[in-house]
Amino acid sequence: MKNAVGREIPDFLLKDGKEVYQGKNYMDGKYLKKASPCTRRYEKPQESKIVSSIAEALCQVGAKSGMTFSFHHHLRNGDYVVNMVMKSAIEELGLDDITIAATSLGDAHDPIAEYIEQGKVVGIQTSGIRGKMGEVVSAGKLKTPAIIRSHGGRPRAIEAGEVHIDIAVVAAPTSDCVGNCRGIGGKSNCGSLGYAMTDAKYADHVIVVTDCLVDFPNMPASVEAIDVDAVVVVDSIGDPRKIASAAARISQNPRDLMMAENVAKVIASTPWFKEGFSFQTGVGGPSLAANLFLEKYMDERGIKMGWAIGGICGPMVELLKKGKVGKVIDVQDFDLDAVNSINQTPGHYEMSASQYANPANKGAFVNKLDFVVLAALEIDTGFNVNVLTGSDGVLRGAPGGHPDTAAGSKCCIIVTPLVRGRMATVCEHVVTVTTPGDCVDVLVTDYGIAVNPLRPDLIECLDNAGIPHVSIEELKEKAYSIVGRPDDLQWEDDVVAVLEARDGTILDVVRKIKPLSLND
Amino acid sequence: MIPRPKPERFRLRRTMMFMNAQKPGLIKDAYIYGVDSIMLDLEDAVAENQKDSARFSLYHALKTIDYGDTEVIVRINGLDTPHWQEDIRVCVAGGADGIRIAKCESAQDVKTVEEHVLAAEREFGVEEGRTLLMAALESPKGILNAYEICAASDRMFGVAISGGDFRKCMQTKFQPDGVDMLAARGQMLIAARAAGIQCFDTVFTDLDDMAGFETEVRQNKAMGFDGKSLINPKQIRLVHEIFAPTEKEVRQAEAMVSAFREASAAGIGVFTVNGKMVDIAFIPGAERTLKLAKACGMYEGDLV
C-alpha cells in the first residue's frame, strides 16, 4: 500500500493495527493506553544492590533467551557497555533469540554484527545503525527486519507497549550502591542521561553498569534507585575520548560558513525571530556555525533566545553563560563543555527523550520549538529527507531527533552542500524517507535556497527580506548537471528494515541491496 | 564547453578573490560566494615544477565550469620567468575574461603582454580585443610608472598594488593605519583615475583579524578604491557592506538621475534636487551609485 510520501509499504507489515504514514499530526487527539512493566518488589531493606559481574546481574533478573534488552547511546562511539552485556548474555549465559532495543547504535558496536550473523541476535530496534551492523542488516542477515525509530518515536513505542523491554541496561558514569545514576562526577562522563530515563521507567528489570561508584545518595539522580534491580561495577564503561570530544569547534570552512550565514538570514527574516525565541541546531559544520551568525542578528536586534534544546555542545553553553539564551534543556551532550555544564550552569537542565520529542505525550519540547536547523544525507524535490541510508542503499545513519524536531517546529531548515563528492544531495527521490517532506520548510545549500511550496508564509518572509531563493527542482538539476544522474539502486524483495514515522505509522522500508556484480 | 559573454571593461569589481588554479576543490564552484571577480593564480600559489599541471587545470576549469556573472581573471607569471607566454596562450584559449600582469613595471610590459594576447587570440580564433588586462604594481618602479602603465592599452581595465612585494622593496612592513603604503596607494589611485581605469587594493592576510581588515577596507573606500583583492570567501561580505552606498545616497542619486533625464528631455541644463544644484557633471557619479546599489540589492529601479 502506498503511503503519504509515495512509498510502497508491503502488506505483511500492516497487521496488528499498523498503518502506513498518512501525513503529519494524523494521530492527534487519539487515545493511548500506556503499557506497564512488571517489576519485582524489594520490600526487605537492601544494604546494596552491587553484584560481582554482568553475568550475575543478568541471572539475578532472570535473563532468558528471547528477551529484549535496551541500551542508551550517551557514551556514543566510546561505548563499551552494549558489547560487554551482549557478550555476557550470549557467550557466558548461552542466551539467544535476543532483541536489542537501543536508542542508537554506532561503529563501537561492530562486534554485535557477529551475533547477528550467528543468529543469536534476531531483532534490532534503534534510531541509528552504522558500521558492520549496518552492513550485515542490509545484507539481510538479521532474522526480523530492523525497526528504525526517531528519538521521540521510541518512547512513544515503549509507552504504547509496542516495545516491551525485559531488561534495561543503564551505562552510568556514576552510581551509588543502590543505583541512583548521574552522567557526571566519574571518569567516563557524558552529562545528560535523558535517553535512559524512559527505558528505566518502562522496563521490567534495570541493571546499572558503572565504572565509578560514589557514596549514597548520588543526587540529583537521572535514573533513580527506585527503578533499579542491580548495580555492576566494571573497570571502564567507555573510552572518554570518544564519549565527549574536547570542544565542538565552529567550522572555518568558507562553504560551511556561507551556508550558516544564510541559515541565520532566513531565521532573522521570519516573525518568530523575536525576544524569547526557541532554537535547536545539530552539531554538523554548517548547522553549528549557524549559532555564530544568529548571535550577530540577536545583537543587532537587541533580542535574546528564550531557550534551546537538543543534543548540546559548547557554543550553546557559551551563549547561555553570556546570558544570550535563557535556558538550555538537553537530552544528550556532545562535548566536554556541555558535559561539565549540565545541572551546574544555572539554567542548564536535563530532560528525558519523551519530554524532548515524544509525539504521543501531552506536549514535548519540540512542539514549542520555533526553529530547528538540521543536516541531511539527501533531500528530494518533495522535501523528503534521508538521514539513514547511503547512496549505496546500506544502513549508515540515524534519524535521531530529526523527524521530531522537523514536525514540531514552526520553521525547519535543512542545511547541506548541494553535492558531496560524486553524490547529489538534492535529488529526484531519496533512497529512504526518514523525515517526511510535509515537515521540512526551507533548504539552504551552497548553491542557493529553496522554500517548500507548502509554506507560502515563509516564501513571503524571504521575499520581503530580499533573500533570493529558487525552486528545489532547480537545485536538483544543478546538482545533476555537476555530478551526473545516478542509476537507480538495485534492490531485492526482502525488507531488512522498517522505518517508522514518529507517530508509529510506517514511513518507508529498506530492502536488501543486490550484491554488486561487475559482470552485468 | 561553456561560452562566456564578452567581458565588460568597466564593471563592478568590489572584490577579487585569489585562488590557486591548481586546486579543483577551490575553483570548481568559486562563484557561489558572490564575489565579483575570481583571480585564478598561476603565479606564486603554484610551485615551480607544477606550472604545467596548473595550466591544464585552469584550461579545463575555464572550458567546463559555468562561472555565470562572476568575472574570471588569471594571474600569469612574471615577464622575467619562462612561463608567461604559455600562460597567456592557455588564458586566451580557455576564454578567460582578463589577465593580471604580475610585477608590472612599465608601459612596455603591458604592450609586450598585449602583443602575445593578440597573437593568441588569432591563434585560437578568439575575438580580437576580447581579453582584458590589468596590471599589478609590486615595486617602487612600478608605482613611479603607474600612469604610463595605466594608459598603455585599451585593454587595461584596472591596476592593483601588491603589498607583500612592495613592502619588501620599501623596507617596511604592514602598519594598521596603512601609513606604510599610503604614498604608493595615493599615487596609484591618481594615475588610475587620470587614465580612466579602475584601482584595487592589496590583500589583507590575517584572516583572524577581522577588525584590522575592516579598518583597512574603510580606508580603501575613503581613498577612492574600486575594490579589494581577497584571499578567503569570509572577507567578501564585509567589503560589499562597506563599499555599499548608504540608503540616503541611493535615494539622492535616484532623484538626481531621474530629474536630470526629465530636465534634459525638456531642454533644461541646470536644476535643483532637494535644494541642491545639479548639472550634468553630477550624473556619472549618481549613475555609479545606482549601479553599486543595484549590485548590493538596494535598488531595483530601471534607471541603470
- Cβ of B64 under 8 Å from any chain A Cβ? no
- Give the chain A residue whose CA is nearest to the CA of B207: A252
Question: Among residues B39, B12, B72, which one has the least CA distance to residue B298?
Answer: B12
- The pLDDT > 90 percentage for chain B reads 78
Domain ranges in chain B? 15-243, 247-295
Give per-residue pLDDT as tens, A251-289: 888 899 999 999 999 999 999 999 999 999 988 888 889
Q: How far is residue A173's CA from residue A169's CA, in Å, rounded to a whole number? A: 13
What are the distances in angstroms from CA B185 to CA B137, B144, B219, B236?
Answer: 10, 11, 11, 21
- Predicted complex ipTM: 0.81
Q: What is the pTM of this model?
A: 0.91
Q: Distance (Å, rounded) from C-alpha A296 to C-alpha A273?
A: 13
Do residues A331 and A319 lie in contact, with contact meaning Cβ atoms separated by under 8 Å? no
Give percent of chain A with pLDDT exceeding 70: 99
User: Which comes out higher in pLDDT, residue B112 or B29?
Assistant: B112
pLDDT for the residue B24: 85
- Residue A486 confidence (pLDDT): 92
Q: Give yes or no for residue B98 having a pLDDT over 70.
A: yes
DSSP state of A307: E
Q: How far A466 CA lies from chain B's nearest CA (Å)? A: 8
Assess contact for A482 and A419: CB atoms under 8 A. yes
User: Smallest Cα–Cα separation from A478: which of B298, B68, B276?
Assistant: B68
Confidence label for B303 from pLDDT (cuts 50, 70 and 90) = confident
Instruction: Kindly list the residues from chain B whose CB atom is less than 8 angstroms away from the CB atom of residue A261.
Output: 237
Q: What is the DSSP string of chain B?
A: --PPPPPPSS---SEEEEEETT-HHHHTTGGGG--SEEEEESSTTS-GGGHHHHHHHHHHHHHH---TTSEEEEEPPPTTSS-HHHHHHHHHHHT-SEEEETT--SHHHHHHHHHHHHHHHHHHTPPTT-SEEEEEE-SHHHHHTHHHHHTS-TTEEEEEE-HHHHHHHHT----TTSGGGHHHHHHHHHHHHHHT-EEEEPP---TT-HHHHHHHHHHHHHHT-SEEEESSGGGHHHHHHHHSPPHHHHHHHHHHHHHHHHHHHTT---EEETTEEE-GGGHHHHHHHHHHHHHTTS--SS--
Asked if A261 and B233 come within 8 Å (Cβ–Cβ), the reply is no
- The CATH H-level superfamily of A254-490 is Glutaconate Coenzyme A-transferase (3.40.1080.10)
Compute φ and ψ for A417, nearest 5 degrees. -65, 150
Cross-chain Cβ contact A254/B237 below 8 Å:
no
Mention the CATH class of domain B15-243: alpha beta
What is the C-alpha separation between B15 and B226, in angstroms, rounded? 9
More confident residue, B118 or A241: B118
Instruction: Determine whether the interchain pair B32/A258 forms a contact, defined as Cβ–Cβ distance below 8 Å.
Output: yes
Q: What is the three-class DSSP state of A8?
A: strand
Report the alpha-carbon distance of residue A20 to residue A133 in Å, rounded. Answer: 27
- Domain A47-243 in CATH: superfamily? Glutaconate Coenzyme A-transferase (3.40.1080.10)
Domain range summary for chain A, segments of one domain joined by +: 47-243, 254-490
Chain A: residue whose CA lies nearest to B208? A252
Return the C-alpha cell found at A181.
Answer: 545514576
Overall average pLDDT of the A133-137 stretch? 96
State the pLDDT at residue B280: 84
| A137-175 burial code (b ≥16 CB/10 A, e <16) | bbbebbeebbbbbbbbbbbbbbbeebbbbbbbbbbbbbb
Nearest to B32 among A257, A261, A447 (CB): A447
Q: Is the dihedral of CA A338, A341, A346, A351 positive or negative?
A: positive
pLDDT in tens, B131-164: 999 999 999 999 999 999 999 999 999 999 999 9
Select the more confidently predicted residue: A377 or A249.
A377
Residue type present at position A473: E
| Partner B, chain A 448-477, Cβ-Cβ below 8 Å | 466
Chain A residue with Cα closest to B297: A466
Residue A516: what pLDDT?
A: 76
**pLDDT band at A502, cuts 50/70/90?**
very high
Tell me what pLDDT residue A34 has.
95
CA–CA distance, A147 with A144 (Å, rounded to integer): 9
Residue-by-residue DSSP string for A314-380: HHHHHHHHTTSEEEEEEEEE-BHHHHTTTTTSTTEEE--HHHHH-TTSS--GGGG-SEEEE--SEEE
> Does the pLDDT at position A519 exceed 70?
no
pLDDT digits (tens, 9 = 90+) for B225-268: 999 999 999 999 999 999 999 989 999 999 999 888 888 888 88
Residue position matching grid coordinates 536535563: A350
Same fold, A47-243 and A254-490: yes
Give the distance from CA A416 to its chain's centroid.
18
Which residue, A455, A453, A371, A454, is CA-closest to A415? A371
Question: Given an 8 Å threshold on Cβ–Cβ distance, is A446 in contact with B237?
Answer: no
Is B3 a residue whose pLDDT tops 90? no
- Residue listed under C-alpha cell 541500551: A71
Please confirm whether the linkage preceding B5 is cis (ω < 30° from 0): no
- Tell me what pLDDT residue B49 has: 95
* pLDDT at residue number A520: 54
The residues near A502 (Cβ < 8 Å, ≥ 6 apart) are: A149, A150, A152, A153, A156, A357, A359, A403, A404, A407
Nearest residue, CB atoms, B234 vs list A257, A466, A482: A257
CB A171 within 8 A of CB A102: no
